[in-house]
Amino acid sequence: MIEVRDLTKHFGTTHAVKGISFDVARGEVLGFLGPNGAGKSTTMRMITGYIPPTAGSARIAGIDLAENSLEVRRRIGYLPESAPLYGDMEVVDFLRFIGTVRGIPQSELGPRMKRMIERCGLEKVVGRAIHHLSKGYRQRVGIAQAMIHDPDLLILDEPTSGLDPNQIVEIRELIKELGREKTVILSTHILPEVSATCGRVIIINEGTIVGSGTPQELSAGSDGKAVVHASIRAGSEKVIAEKLLLEDFIEEARWEGTTQEGLHRFSITATDADRAGEMLFAVIVKHGWTLGEMRTESVSLEDVFRKLTRGEAA
Amino acid sequence: MRNIFAVMRKEFRGYFDSPVAYIYITFFTVLSTWLFMRSFFLVSQATMRGYFGILPWLLLFFIPAVTMRLWAEEKKLGTIELLMTLPLKDVEVVLGKFFASFLFLAVTLVLSLALPIMVSMLGEPDLGSIAGGYLGAILLGGAYLAIGLFVSSLTENQIIAFIIGVTITFLLFVIGEEFVVYNAPDAIVPMLKFLGMGAHFDSIGRGVVDSRDVIYYLSLIGFFLFLNVRSVESRKWK
């Protein structure tokens, strides 16, 4: 559906996007994740034909943007960052304008608008001027205008920013539902959003792609390590640590204190993320220790994100 | 065609969605009528010449005020991103905006038709020169609009768009005036006289519609609309 090759954008001496390449398959929901100012919006603006790239190319549904941006724009539904809408217009008039320009025949326009209004829950505000609406409603009007021509590809720049938790859930549900039949690209700097809605994630930092994969792949940890927290009852903490470090799969065993019940709490870094808990349990059994508690901490998406976007070696 | 009309409709309604349009129209109508009536009874001639004498100067301020928001506001509010990612050709957007402002000007001029009606009830004015005056006003106004619209596309600040619009329009209007031409080298005097908007307006206003004057205004409008398309285009994929 989308092929992006070496897309680059310089603003004067600022290199906002430094050669990004990626593909998006039909029916995929792709999340752009990155801190503010990472180049997410700039990339989206290039794909939607709003600004030209300094170098690189993009094809959408097989059409080169540089050759026929008009045809590409016809196939995309776009919600720009912070949903800039014509504030003086009433919701219906605004949707009618977008629908007309999007080439929806006059006879179909009415039913189509009605469907969008229902789908985005705008029934209560149809006759109101857009600048009188709350942020949540404005965002929904923005999504309605992006979908009104039933595009194959939806590009949503921070669709949930500024919404309250209930609205966020609603919008996420809507995106998930859309993702069943359409290709969606959305950007966000909110991590749970990605795991909640996206099939695949691209992490962007300082204009380059620093990581990509499914949310599960990413949170499984980029280095395959896991941290196991275990409370063990046995002689002294020093003996336990020594014996633990004899095992190949254990890299580090840090003593974190002893509980009132005499359990020594350890934080153990193990190499085999999938089987670390299992193997540690076997070791404990082997030495005849008593296990008070054991918990494997999988590396969360948040850790991966922080690691990748802080420039630490991944 | 449908797209131009859709943009025009949006922009034209945009004027009347806020009170600005009513303020403009009231202000313009009251001021022009008052300035005309002030001398009308003193001259005691059934003529509209005085009206068409002041009209270019009023439009000089009125029109940049009408066009200043058309692009600058879109840039300021970020709606330009929405507009330019719609499947619209740049020229369709430019023409849509131009025709919307043109229609606005036409509405304003129609409201001033009370004056010629009054004049013809009081005496027997030269209807040919009144018709010519209105045709001239429409053409001159169209040229002002094209200039103002172009200037608006260069900035996101409406005040700057207004001031630069007034300045360029003023320069193009007076460039052919005797006062300016007086010190210019003889070789370029005819050119300056031809380029100035004022002389063409006066000659149409006499009721003599010369195709050269009409073509002059139409090409001026075309030129600035072309510049406008180019200035909008510069942000697009080539």
We find that the CATH architecture of domain A2-219 is 3-Layer(aba) Sandwich (3.40)
Chain A residues within 8 angstroms (CB to CB) of chain B: 45, 48-53, 65-66, 69-71, 73-74, 76, 78, 80, 82, 84-89, 93, 97-98, 100-103, 129, 145
Judged by CB atoms closer than 8 Å, whether chains meet at A101 and B237 is answered as no
Best to test chain A binding among B7, B13, B79, B82 (most A CBs inside 10 Å): B82
Q: Using CB atoms, which residue from B78, B88, B236 is nearest to A101? A: B88
Question: Quick check: B13 contacting A, CB < 8 Å?
Answer: yes
Counted domains in chain B: 1
Task: Evaluate whether residue B51 is within a structural domain.
Answer: yes
Residue A70 distance to chain B (closest CA, Å): 5
For residues A72-92, average pLDDT: 92
The domains of chain A are located at 2-219, 226-298
Residue B145 distance to chain A (closest CA, Å): 22
Question: Quick check: B7 contacting A, CB < 8 Å?
Answer: yes
Residue B96 distance to chain A (closest CA, Å): 12
pLDDT at A298: 62
The pLDDT tens digits for A17-59 are 999 999 999 889 999 988 888 889 999 999 998 999 999 999 9
**Full-model pTM:** 0.83
Question: Quick check: B210 contacting A, CB < 8 Å?
Answer: no
Give the mean pLDDT of chain B: 90
Task: Evaluate whether residue B238 is within a structural domain.
Answer: no
Structural domain harbouring B133: 2-232
The pLDDT tens digits for B120-133 are 888 888 888 899 99
pLDDT at A98: 95
Q: Which residue has the higher pLDDT, B1 or B97?
A: B97
Give the whole-angstrom CA distance, residue B149 versus residue B71.
7
Give the mean pLDDT of chain A: 86
Nearest Cα neighbor of B174 from B66, B61, B60 is B60
Residue of B nearest to A75 (CA): B87
Q: Fold for domain A226-298?
A: Alpha-Beta Plaits (3.30.70)
List Cβ neighbours of A81 (8 Å cut-off, separation of 6 or more). A41, A157, A158, A161
pLDDT at A8: 92
Task: Evaluate whether residue B194 is within a structural domain.
Answer: yes
Task: Evaluate whether residue B12 is within a structural domain.
Answer: yes
For residues A233-258, average pLDDT: 85
Give the whole-angstrom CA distance, residue B214 versus residue B143.
11
Give the whole-angstrom CA distance, residue A248 versus residue A285.
17
Task: Evaluate whether residue B85 is within a structural domain.
Answer: yes
Residue B12: pLDDT over 90: yes
Interface of B with A in 68-127 (CB under 8 A): 77-79, 81-82, 84-89
Pairing of strands A14-24, A2-11: antiparallel
Give the whole-angstrom CA distance, residue A101 versus residue B99.
17
Question: Quick check: B10 contacting A, CB < 8 Å?
Answer: yes
The pLDDT tens digits for A223-237 are 567 778 889 988 888
Rg of chain B over Cα atoms, rounded to whole angstroms, equals: 19
Task: Evaluate whether residue B128 is within a structural domain.
Answer: yes
**What is the predicted ipTM?**
0.87
